[in-house]
Chain A
Amino acid sequence: MADGTLQVRVVSPQKIVFEGDAAALVAPAWDGMVGILPGHAPFLTLVGVGELSIELPGGGSRSFQVAGGILKVLTNRVTVLTEYAGTEPPAEIPAEAIVHPEDVVASATDASS
């Protein structure tokens, strides 16, 4: 598994921004950057604001500015659904891209009570 490749799909509501194989991927999650290599466990996280970079299998890389959305990893397939994807950072950060840690803590305590 570990020597496999990732199948990556970066999708915005209007189009597929990137689709193809990758050796690794670094994405901005809501709480910091996450790196994903082949063989990663199933994973679901919110996407924050920043640079998403994809290492291509044959060397070289692609990168995009993304903001908001969700990232899903399942059996070496990575799907990034993002509100914004482009070469430039978004002019205005969508409200969905901002996660306040307090809210997360509040929702977690709600659930356990």
Chain B
Amino acid sequence: MAGAREVRRRIKSVENNRQITRTMELVATSKLKRATDRVRAARPYADALDEIVRSLYSPWLAERFPLLRQPTETRRAAVLLLTANRGLAGAFNANLIRETRHQLDDLREKGIATELHIAGKKGIQFFRFRGEPMETARTDIKDAPTVTDAESLVAPLAARFEAGILDAVFLVSSEFRSAMSTPPRVKELLPIRPGAASASADAFILSPPGGFILGRLLPLYLRNAVYTALVENAAAEQGARRTAMKNATDNAGEMLEYLTRTYNRARQAQITQEIAEIVGGAAGLE
């Protein structure tokens, strides 16, 4: 019977799909494990550095370091977007792109000139399709981002901020709260606004002087902010992909159940019909 054969073919195809999504889920799970380890490993350094920068920072030092420049008026701002190089991760890339568009729209509404820097193929594809000019478009950052990647992303931006070409730099990336919760986030990278210090540097013996140490630490601080964002983003991508693929696998399972039932019913109907035909035929002979 044609109906049953048709359903059989669909069952086969859904089964194949489920196998693929399940494999992708497993791959994402194992990558997620390694990526979360990297996030966790990067935190102690980030926290300690943050603490030291905050305790060394004082407003009068801000005048001495171009990186601590606090522009009175923002004329030109850069937005740095980090996306994944690959799709099939649910709304992960779409969320980041939407956040970036909001940020760009906000800035433009205030009459601020914008420029867009993107690391990640998915973001580049979207903004290229929209005909949006991009200052940087990089796809070379892998699943395990390095400090050098972060450095190469942020160094040109920092240099242009120091030169006074840029007045603000925003970073759009995913916050890694857990594998299930990875909301997009906009972070103001520059100007640097250190929070209040828990311990003032006055209590410390400083060698060399505090200002000099701060001058050395600021580039590290900036680079580390980007590095942290890169590792968090990589982990968030794997988390989002795992969730998406788990849903796909579950859906395929549900569909299989339904299709199998349909197939059995069709088969049963066919048998019943055949019996009825035989019985009918036999009855006709009597």
Asked if B98 lies at the interface with its beta carbon under 8 angstroms from chain A, I say no
Residue of B52, B207, B209 touching A107 (CB-CB under 8 A): B209
Q: Do B41 and A15 touch (CB < 8 A)? A: yes
Does B52 lie within 8 Å of A72, measured CB to CB?
yes
Partner among B41, B42, B199, B208 whose Cβ is within 8 Å of the Cβ of A99: B208
A44 to B216, CA, bound (A): 13
Decide if A43 touches B208 in the complex (CB within 8 Å): no
- Size category of the binding interface on chain B: 20 to 34
Q: Which B residues are in CB contact (< 8 Å) with A72?
A: 48, 52, 204
A101 to B23: give the CA distance in the assembly, Å. 57
The total of interchain contacts (Cβ-Cβ below 8 angstroms) comes to: 89
Shortest B61–chain A CB gap in Å is 9
A11 within 8 A of B: yes
Cβ contact within 8 Å between B38 and A14: yes
A105 to chain B, nearest CB (A): 9
* 0/1 interface trace, chain B 112-123, chain A, CB 8 Å (1 if under): 000000000000
Chain B residues with Cβ under 8 A from A83's Cβ? Answer: 220
Task: Pick from A9, A15, A69, A111: contact of B211, CB below 8 A.
Answer: A111
Give which listed residue, B38, B49, B212, contacts A103 with CB less than 8 A: B212
* 8 Å CB interface, A13-57 against B: 13-16, 29-31, 41-46
Indicate if B205 sits at the interface (CB-CB under 8 A).
yes
Quick check: A104 and B208 within 8 Å, CB to CB? yes
Contact A42 B207 (CB under 8 A): no
Given A11-B45, A72-B52, A42 and B203 touching (CB < 8 A)?
Answer: yes
A107 and B215 in contact, given A9-B44, A14-B147, A16-B41 (Cβ under 8 angstroms): yes
- Verify A70–B52 contact, CB threshold 8 A: yes
* Pick from A41, A46, A74: contact of B199, CB under 8 Å: A74
The 8 Å CB contact of A29, one of B201, B207, B215, is: B207
Give the most central of B48, B52, B64, B208: most A CB within 10 Å: B208
Shortest distance from the beta carbon of B98 to any chain A beta carbon, whole Å:
30
Does A108 count as interface, using CB distance less than 8 angstroms?
A: yes
Q: Is A3 an interface residue (CB 8 A)?
A: no
Is A16 within 8 A of B199, CB to CB? no
- Since A31-B208, A45-B208, A108-B209 are in contact, a sample of 12 more A-B pairs with Cβ atoms closer than 8 Å, ordered by chain A residue number, is A9-B44, A13-B45, A14-B41, A15-B41, A29-B207, A31-B207, A41-B205, A44-B201, A44-B213, A45-B206, A107-B208, A110-B64
The 10 nearest A-B residue pairs measured at CB: A104-B208, A15-B41, A42-B204, A45-B207, A44-B204, A11-B45, A107-B212, A43-B205, A11-B44, A13-B45
Name 20 A/B residue pairs within 8 A (Cβ), A-sorted: A9-B48, A13-B227, A14-B38, A16-B41, A30-B208, A42-B204, A42-B205, A43-B207, A44-B204, A44-B205, A44-B207, A45-B206, A72-B204, A74-B199, A81-B45, A96-B219, A99-B216, A104-B208, A111-B64, A111-B209
